[in-house]
């Protein structure tokens, strides 16, 4: 039998090289067609597609095989652009004496794949401590970086934002993270614990770049897979790659997630990864995830992120409130309700428009029971 079902072929491709992939219909030949290639566009798994074709997991008849290779080479070139943006960022932050950790694709490609060309990416993500927010932005601005959007308020951004988006001097995209995820779970994660661990290091353009340790990278991959909204197979592959190839100490991550109240995110990431990539359910992490019951609090928060993925940031933002103490609740709401004039102008809203939009979001959330 031959299968050219694009969705099935792409899923199999995303799992190439992983141990414990379940044999589906035995003896099927998987054929990578132009439809499958179109499906891959935007998923950023061109490196895995190339590997699947060159190792014979899937067949790609001419001229699709050439298209696959060209798509992969273009993706690697884009990845190099993003690495340059990260390099520019680290140099500027070094000059400002701000410690920084490279996140996501760049770190995972270099630290968790034997061949970094398998994991492609399109932007640079760098994490700093909230306390360094002002110094980092001053240093980056001096180096020619420009922020994309005016802050809600500087104090609000420093305390509550997940990330600040900037344009690099060469026009690239930098997400300067203050936390590894936003909303309720971003508040719950103990970031100082992540920073306290010894960073993993890799070479980036001739300089040392620091990244979260393996367990930190896995927690972040889980967050991205479940809370990232549309991150899809690429993020699920990251979860599986770090667990099955790099043998992350997943139990330690779970233990710490239980302390923080974020274990539901880890469990959901593992369940989704196993289901989508069709992996052997006997793995102990998969069995833990299958039997995991989220607390009502975590279930409400997860629902808020799902709503946010479909309808905008509002619901995720509101979910933050549940993780804040009374004083921070007031500060969060004050800033959110009265953003700076520059921020409102950027979003094309009058003060009245903004308050009406907030009110509509709040009503929608209360109606859905997502508090």
Options 23, 61, 206, 230; binder of other proteins; rule CB under 8 A: 206
- Residue 94 CB, nearest distance to other proteins (Å)? 12
Residue 76 vs 303, nearer CB to other proteins:
76
Residue 47 vs 151, nearer CB to other proteins:
47
> 243 with 322: CB under 8 angstroms?
no
Residue 137 vs 204, nearer CB to other proteins:
204
- Residue 85 CB, nearest distance to other proteins (Å)? 10
- Residue 55 in tokens: 């190792």
> 152 with 335: CB under 8 angstroms?
yes
Q: Which residues contact 187 (CB under 8 A, 6 or more apart)?
A: 179, 320, 323, 324
Q: How far apart are CA 303 and CA 315, in angstroms?
A: 9
How many other C-beta atoms lie within 10 A of the C-beta of residue 293?
9
How many other C-beta atoms lie within 10 A of the C-beta of residue 288?
17
How many other C-beta atoms lie within 10 A of the C-beta of residue 266?
27
Q: What is the DSSP secondary-structure string of 186-204? A: HHHS-HHHHHHSPPEEEEE
Residue 113 vs 133, nearer CB to other proteins:
113
Site string for other proteins, 297-326 (x = CB under 8 A): ------------------------------
Secondary structure (3-state) at 29: strand
> 234 with 44: CB under 8 angstroms?
yes
Options 83, 213, 215, 316; binder of other proteins; rule CB under 8 A: 83
Site string for other proteins, 92-121 (x = CB under 8 A): ------------------------xx----
Q: Which 147-176 positions form the footprint of other proteins (CB under 8 A)? A: 170-171
What's the CA angle centered on 43, arms 37 and 46, to 5 degrees?
55
Nearest CA-CA partner of 94 in 180, 209, 175, 200:
209
Residue 83 vs 187, nearer CB to other proteins:
83
Residue 171 vs 296, nearer CB to other proteins:
171
Options 76, 294, 324, 333; binder of other proteins; rule CB under 8 A: 76
Residue 116 vs 151, nearer CB to other proteins:
116
Strand partners, 173: 167
Point out which span in 79-87, 238-246, 295-303, 326-334 binds other proteins (CB under 8 A).
79-87
Handedness of CA 333, 338, 343, 345 (dihedral sign): positive
- Residue 103 CB, nearest distance to other proteins (Å)? 17
Residue 104 vs 283, nearer CB to other proteins:
104
Length of the chain: 371
Options 29, 77, 197, 299; binder of other proteins; rule CB under 8 A: 77
- Residue 99 CB, nearest distance to other proteins (Å)? 20
Q: How far apart are CA 175 and CA 209, in angstroms?
A: 16
Options 36, 49, 204, 223; binder of other proteins; rule CB under 8 A: 204
Binding-site size, other proteins (CB under 8 A): 19
> 304 with 227: CB under 8 angstroms?
no
Q: Does 73 bind other proteins (CB under 8 A)?
A: yes
Q: Does 88 bind other proteins (CB under 8 A)?
A: yes
Integer distance in angstroms from the first to the last C-alpha of the chain?
Answer: 50
For binding to other proteins (CB under 8 A), which residues are involved?
73, 76-77, 79-81, 83-84, 87-88, 91, 116-117, 170-171, 204-207
């Amino acid at each position: 039998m031959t299968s050219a079902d694009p969705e099935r072929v792409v899923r199999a491709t995303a799992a190439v090289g992983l141990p414990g992939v379940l044999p589906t219909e035995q003896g099927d030949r998987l054929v990578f067609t132009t439809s499958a290639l179109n499906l891959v566009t935007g998923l950023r798994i061109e490196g895995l597609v190339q590997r699947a074709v060159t190792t014979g997991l899937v067949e790609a008849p001419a001229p699709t095989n050439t298209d696959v290779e060209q798509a992969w080479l273009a993706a690697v070139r884009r990845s190099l652009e993003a690495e340059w943006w990260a390099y520019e960022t680290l140099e500027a932050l070094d000059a400002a004496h701000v410690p920084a950790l490279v996140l996501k694709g760049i770190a995972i490609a270099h630290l968790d794949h034997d061949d970094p060309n398998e994991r492609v990416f399109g932007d640079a993500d760098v994490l700093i401590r909230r306390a360094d927010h002002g110094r980092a932005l001053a240093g980056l601005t001096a180096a020619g970086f420009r922020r994309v959007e005016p802050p809600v308020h500087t104090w609000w951004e420093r305390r509550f934002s997940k990330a600040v988006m900037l344009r690099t001097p060469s026009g690239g995209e930098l997400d300067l993270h203050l936390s590894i995820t936003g909303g309720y779970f971003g508040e719950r994660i103990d970031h100082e614990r992540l920073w306290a661990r010894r960073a993993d290091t890799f070479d980036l353009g001739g300089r040392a770049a620091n990244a979260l340790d393996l367990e930190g990278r896995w927690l972040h991959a889980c967050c991205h897979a479940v809370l990232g909204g549309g991150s899809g197979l690429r993020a699920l592959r990251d979860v599986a790659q770090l667990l099955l190839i790099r043998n992350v100490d997943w139990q330690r991550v779970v233990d710490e997630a239980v302390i923080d109240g974020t274990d539901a995110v880890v469990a959901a990431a593992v369940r989704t990864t196993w289901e989508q990539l069709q992996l052997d359910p006997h793995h102990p992490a998969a069995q833990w995830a299958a039997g995991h019951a989220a607390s009502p609090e975590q279930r409400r928060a997860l629902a808020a992120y799902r709503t946010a993925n479909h309808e905008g940031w509002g619901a995720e933002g509101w979910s933050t409130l549940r993780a804040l103490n009374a004083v921070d609740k007031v500060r969060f709401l004050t800033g959110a309700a009265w953003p700076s004039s520059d921020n409102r102008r950027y979003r094309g809203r009058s003060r009245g428009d903004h308050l009406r939009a907030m009110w509509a979001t709040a009503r929608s959330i209360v109606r859905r029971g997502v508090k």
